[in-house]
Homo-oligomer: A and B are copies of this chain.
Amino acid sequence: MPTRKPPPLRKDARRNRTALLTAAKAAFAEEGLNATLEGIARRAEVSIGTLYRHFPTRMDLVAVVIADKKRAWIKAAETAVAMESAWDGLAFFLERTCELQAGDLAFNDIASMRFPHAPGIEAARKRAYDLGGRIIERAQAEGSLRPDLTPADLAFIVWAQSRISEATHAIDPDAWRRYLAITLDGLRAKAAHPLAVTPLRPRQVMRAQLELGRRRLR
């Protein structure tokens, strides 16, 4: 590996770095990923220059703050694929994804693709997408999931949910569950009526992601 181990940080530097991450985590969660960097520096009681020394770009900060949830997300997908009941796997995956974004506008922004170029997210997204495909296949093979659903549809369902948790996270952190339950009822094979509109092709889904990202961020 070409990367050298970074030299140890000085004590004050370590303290400031921690303070910045704490402040950023809170600010991003409350205000979304476009929280102002100056505000984060103020919150951490550190000068703006120090913020930039530690995190030269906003993305560097985002990457660290997001890391945990990103891992949790992938793990949820892997767990879902391994569940005995494929339907339960699907429901678990959707619930867990929505749970991660509820009350955390940072992950909400990520899940809604408002930061399409967030670092390290690309890979996680691809992985989650692939796993999502397998979750769907299994549930369709099992006969519990409507046969016309595609992996891209999963993304749209999560995006749609993201607006609901965006609206309700401060009022009732569990409100989104109600609407996810309704959607799940619509996903069952027994409930399915034929869909008149075809799903977006993968290329189009990517463009839709970028479109969401264009909206008032960055």
Name A211's contact: one of B112, B171, B183 (CB within 8 Å): B171
> A179 and B163: CB pair below 8 A?
no
Residues of B within 8 A of A153 (CB): 178-179, 182
Residues of B within 8 A of A187 (CB): 182, 185-186
> A199 and B178: CB pair below 8 A?
yes
- Cα separation A188 to B191 with both chains bound (whole Å): 8
Q: Closest B residue to A204 by CB, please name it.
A: B171
Name the distance in Å between A136's Cβ and chain B's nearest Cβ: 13
A157 at the B interface (CB under 8 A) = yes
Number of identical protomers: 2
A215 at the B interface (CB under 8 A) = yes
- Cα separation A187 to B168 with both chains bound (whole Å): 21
- Enumerate A151-206 residues with CB–CB distance to B below 8 Å: 153, 156-157, 159-164, 166-172, 174-175, 177-179, 181-188, 190-193, 195-200, 204
Which residues of A come within 8 Å of B, CB atoms? 32, 34, 112-113, 146, 153, 156-157, 159-164, 166-172, 174-175, 177-179, 181-188, 190-193, 195-200, 204, 207-209, 211-212, 215-217
- Contacts A156-B168, A178-B198, A178-B199 known; list 12 others, CB within 8 Å: A153-B178, A153-B182, A160-B160, A166-B215, A167-B209, A168-B204, A168-B211, A170-B207, A171-B200, A177-B196, A178-B196, A185-B187
